[in-house]
């Protein structure tokens, strides 16, 4: 393993929880990594990258991937790999899959130089399998040629009865399971977590997109922590192209604002790596 990355500069740290057994080369770049736990359900983490003006996706025609927002920043990919390495399941919406159809939601895919370190970390955490790749789609509109469906990783598609009927027309590989959690309409975050739990016992669930999906987790107060990379780019908006922010489809402020607590700030060059925690409802 060879990398020219400099260690992330720690500017602020208030994270509590158990220190995870990071391999030395990974800890040298990121520093100690702590996670809390929840006894009643999985710990749910979110990971997004945004421009300075709050854009998380440039459009919906294949140019919506986070690499265009981050500039394919190596520190960002290092962190994405770390979060995937500690996760039992990685959740994305169908729109995210359409924007990056060749993607696999595994740590070694996003940052190959640390593939061995990520595998070592998963082994130390008693997670020998790749993280369960979870795709949420209400209508079942999935490209059958998407790489994630080709048998390399375990996949769970969470959908509706209508979506399940649509997916039944596809010849899905044996690595893919489908679960309908409602008759039709939007799929709740709690339903997603329930389906994951029935497919795989999970202590940590990572949500990577998109804005509508994360909106459900925020609305149901099921997102425990948000890892937010602030990229030094201004994307702009003109109203002609949909350029969503972090959350879409939900409104919280001013009647129900969601306030976070800053628990970590790291710097890698001109990128900032922010970590926030969200209090659970009483």
196-200 contact pairs (CB < 8 A, 24+): 196/42, 196/88, 196/89, 196/91, 196/132, 196/134, 196/156, 196/158, 197/42, 199/132, 199/156, 200/88, 200/89, 200/132, 200/154, 200/156
pLDDT on residue 62: 45
Asked if residue 2 is part of any domain, the answer here is no
pLDDT at 239: 86
pTM over 0.85: yes
pLDDT tens digit sequence for 83-113: 999 999 999 999 999 999 999 999 999 999 9
Percentage of the chain lying above the pLDDT 90 cut: 89
Average pLDDT over the chain, rounded to an integer: 94
Q: What is the mean pLDDT of the segment spanning 144-160?
A: 96
Question: What is the model's pLDDT at position 45?
Answer: 98
Residue 60: the pLDDT is: 55
Query: Is 27 a member of any domain?
Result: no
Q: Judge whether 26 lies within some domain.
A: no
Q: Are 51 and 234 in contact (CB under 8 A)?
A: yes
Q: Please report the pLDDT score of residue 4 as a whole number.
A: 83
Residue 177 resides in a domain = yes
List of residues 6+ apart from 207 with CB closer than 8 A: 44, 45, 46, 47, 90, 91, 92, 213, 214, 217, 223
Q: In this prediction, what percent of the chain has a pLDDT beyond 70?
A: 96
Instruction: Tell me which of 20-34, 53-67, 188-202 is least confident.
Output: 53-67
- Other Cβ atoms less than 10 A from the Cβ of 210: the count is 26
Residue 35, domain member (yes or no): no
- Decide if pLDDT at 63 tops 80: no
Q: Quick check: 276 and 270 in contact, CB under 8 A? A: no
User: Does residue 18 fall inside a structural domain?
Assistant: no
Say how many domains are in the chain.
1
| 1 within domain boundaries | no
- Among residues 183, 178, 80, the alpha carbon closest in space to that of 136 is found at 178
Q: Are 90 and 82 in contact (CB under 8 A)?
A: no
Task: Encode pLDDT of 187-225 as tens digits.
Answer: 999 999 999 999 999 999 999 989 999 999 999 999 999
Q: Output the domain CATH number for residue 115.
A: 3.40.430.10
pLDDT of residue 196: 98
Residue 9 resides in a domain: no
Does the structure show a pLDDT above 60 at 12?
yes
Q: Which domain holds residue 197?
A: 40-52+63-277
């Amino acid at each position: 393993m060879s990398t020219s990355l400099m260690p992330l500069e720690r500017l602020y740290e208030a994270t509590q929880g158990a220190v995870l057994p990071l391999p030395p080369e990974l800890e040298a770049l990121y520093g100690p990594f702590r996670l809390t736990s929840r006894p009643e359900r999985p710990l749910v983490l979110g990971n997004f990258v945004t421009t300075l003006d709050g854009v998380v996706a440039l459009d919906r025609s294949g140019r919506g991937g986070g690499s265009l927002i981050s500039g394919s920043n190596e520190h960002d990919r290092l962190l994405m790999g770390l979060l995937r390495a500690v996760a039992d399941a990685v959740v994305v919406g169908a729109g995210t899959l359409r924007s990056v159809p060749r993607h696999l939601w595994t740590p070694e895919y996003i940052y190959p130089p640390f593939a061995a370190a990520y595998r070592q970390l998963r082994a130390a955490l008693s997670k020998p399998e790749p993280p369960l790749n979870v795709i949420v789609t209400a209508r079942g509109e999935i490209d059958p040629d998407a790489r994630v469906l080709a048998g390399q990783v375990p996949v769970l598609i969470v959908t509706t009865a209508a979506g399940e009927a649509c997916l039944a027309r596809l010849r899905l590989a044996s690595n893919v399971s489908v679960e309908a959690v409602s008759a039709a309409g939007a799929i709740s975050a709690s339903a997603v977590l329930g389906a994951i739990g029935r497919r795989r016992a999970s202590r940590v669930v990572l949500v990577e997109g998109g804005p509508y999906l994360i909106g459900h987790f925020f609305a149901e107060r099921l997102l425990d922590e948000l890892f937010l990379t602030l990229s030094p780019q201004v994307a702009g908006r003109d109203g002609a192209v949909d350029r969503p922010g972090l959350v879409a489809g939900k409104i919280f402020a001013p009647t129900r604002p969601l306030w976070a607590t800053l628990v970590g700030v790291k710097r890698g060059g001109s990128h900032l790596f922010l970590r926030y925690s969200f209090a659970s409802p009483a």
